[in-house]
Chains A and B, each alone.
Chain A
């Protein structure tokens, strides 16, 4: 267990740039952009006297909003928080994609694998520590940075709003950051299960390819899609190219994107009908997401992912080219 912890720590040391600084810089930039647009708005607004802001009936005497408005504003701000976390997770998905591709290849190329292999660590532990870094450590860091950025963003917007007579603290009391954080954290196990086929496929290519794992990983699935389509033309193969695309190619290459499982949630299959922020938040609710566990698609993908990781461990053990 101690060894595993240090293996994960080693992955973090090596990929501090992608795992930590990429989300932090993204967060910093989005805060800066928000600040710039708020300042621009204030200055241009004042110069041209555009602000005739009165909330109509909904703003009370002390700048208090009425109850229904407040609920909506709180919901909107929760959505902002979700949005920022989603942005971070999007960046993280790209980082993790390339991380997985290089994870079992780069040290073979620069021969530092000979150093790692000179330590009493099994190849299974090594590979699993990389899987954990990709599917758990990276998303957790992205979520934490996302939450912090989102809260700072809200604070900035609320400060700006309070300049115009809206009560700042009342507004912030209606945000549910803990709830948002809790649901995001609760979704991470689901993410791990969902991401397994892509992580497994990329790491298998990374462990197996003698050169250019990127090309193999990216070209093999579409090439096989072409074959399936061609066999389909000849009438030799019952499986449709559309099915193959959705269930093989997409699952092998795109499952690192969080939320991909939502297509398997039947209630949401017909598209999003969210008129209010709260409805949207329901959509992002934990229970809704975990409904995806009922679909065999998720589990078949996970089993395939585990099998590919096992194959990657085997190649890590026996690939002899350094």
Chain B
């Protein structure tokens, strides 16, 4: 199957800084891609470019459309939740369902009402009377009822309590995602999305510094817990990162033979957040 998104030589310059610096990548259908980077790394700019919300240089193809020229057609196939609470505050549940049902051809009203029935939302309730978590529930119910090929989530769970956050991703996985859909998600709560991602992209200073599927990440990056007597030997293999826990050293290696590392100590798969911290070292310095 052809790629959902193909970007090549994507650049975007704001007045003082380069938000995207000659970025190229491809995203295949049926993937859940985590786009992860520190604040100001260019995540949101990349998503805005994909959604046609901002101008850029380079070439970008999303589902066969150029987001700069065919934005309204593209949005028939793409759904988007920008960080929480962008639903207009004056609108009622009933009104927003009516509206989306009548302007979006891929919207399934029954599905949406079924999702809403599982929440405490009332048809006459206005967005301004809802808590942040309820607003996200409403938005998610709308988006999940749209049979879109690509779903883009930009910090969807920012500021939500853990119940809503867990439920959010659970709903997405159980009731929405399938092999015909693609999800791109950016978030700072890496631990929460780690287990659902199929692909990982790290972005730093407008550049993609890591772009791999999770299996490849597991093969390439290895964490080893090393006793102090082996620490010096481990350091000669040029670890990405080293930290101390209970008198032992934990080293993170990139592309070193697994057999070689197993000789040094206990080998395990690094968590995405440890990998992230190691990769982004010195970003704010």
Which A positions have Cβ atoms within 8 angstroms of B?
2-3, 6-7, 9-10, 13-14, 107, 110-123, 317-318, 320
Contacts and interface: CB of A to CB of B under 8 A. Distances in A.
B103 A112 contact: no
B70 to A, nearest CB: 10
B53 A120 contact: no
B141 interface: no
Contact of B75 (A3, A6, A120, A318): A120
Contacts of A6: 98-99, 102-103
Contact of A320 (B54, B89, B139): B54
B53 A3 contact: no
Contacts of B100: 119
A121 B87 contact: no
Contacts of B99: 6, 9-10
Interface string B87-107: 111111001001110111100
Task: Kindly state the interface size class of chain B when it binds its partner.
Answer: 20 to 34
Contacts of A110: 88-89
Given A107-B88, A112-B88, A320-B55, A13 B79 contact: no
B192 interface: no
Contacts of A115: 82, 86-88, 139
B91 A13 contact: yes
Contacts of A14: 88, 90-91
9 contacts: A3-B103, A112-B86, A112-B88, A113-B86, A114-B80, A115-B86, A115-B139, A117-B75, A118-B51
Contacts of A116: 88
Interface in B146-183: none
B124 to A, nearest CB: 13
A130 to B, nearest CB: 14
Contacts of A10: 95, 99
B72 A122 contact: yes
B48 interface: yes
Contacts of A13: 90-92, 95
A96 B89 CA distance: 21
B269 interface: no
A116 B86 CA distance: 9
A300 B54 CA distance: 34
Nearest to B107: A119
Contact of A120 (B54, B88, B104): B104
A121 B86 CA distance: 17
Given A114-B53, A115-B139, A119-B103, 15 more contacts: A3-B103, A9-B99, A10-B95, A14-B91, A110-B88, A115-B82, A117-B80, A118-B51, A118-B78, A118-B80, A118-B81, A118-B82, A121-B103, A122-B72, A320-B54
Contacts of B81: 118
Interface of B: 48, 51, 53-55, 71-76, 78-82, 86-92, 95, 98-100, 102-105, 139
A308 to B, nearest CB: 22
Task: Give the top 7 A-B pairs by smallest Cβ distance, nearest first.
Answer: A120-B76, A112-B88, A118-B80, A122-B72, A114-B82, A120-B75, A114-B86
Nearest to A5: B102
A10 B99 CA distance: 7
A197 B102 CA distance: 32
A267 B75 CA distance: 54
A13 B94 CA distance: 11
B182 to A, nearest CB: 16
Contacts of B87: 112, 115
Contacts of B90: 13-14
A30 B83 CA distance: 47
A116 B71 CA distance: 13
A120 B55 contact: no
B82 A121 contact: no
Contacts of B104: 119-120
A120 B72 contact: yes
A102 B98 CA distance: 24
Contacts of B76: 120
A112 B138 CA distance: 14
Most chain B CB neighbours (cut-off 10 Å) among A107, A117, A122, A123: A117
A165 B51 CA distance: 73
A84 B207 CA distance: 65
Nearest to B96: A115
Contacts of B98: 6
B79 to A, nearest CB: 7
Contacts of B74: 120
Contacts of A121: 72, 75, 103
A118 B90 CA distance: 18
Most chain B CB neighbours (cut-off 10 Å) among A2, A115, A122: A115
Contact of A111 (B86, B92, B95): B86
Contacts of A320: 48, 53-55
A107 to B, nearest CB: 7
B17 to A, nearest CB: 15
Given A14-B88, A115-B88, A120-B75, A318 B55 contact: yes
A317 B51 CA distance: 12
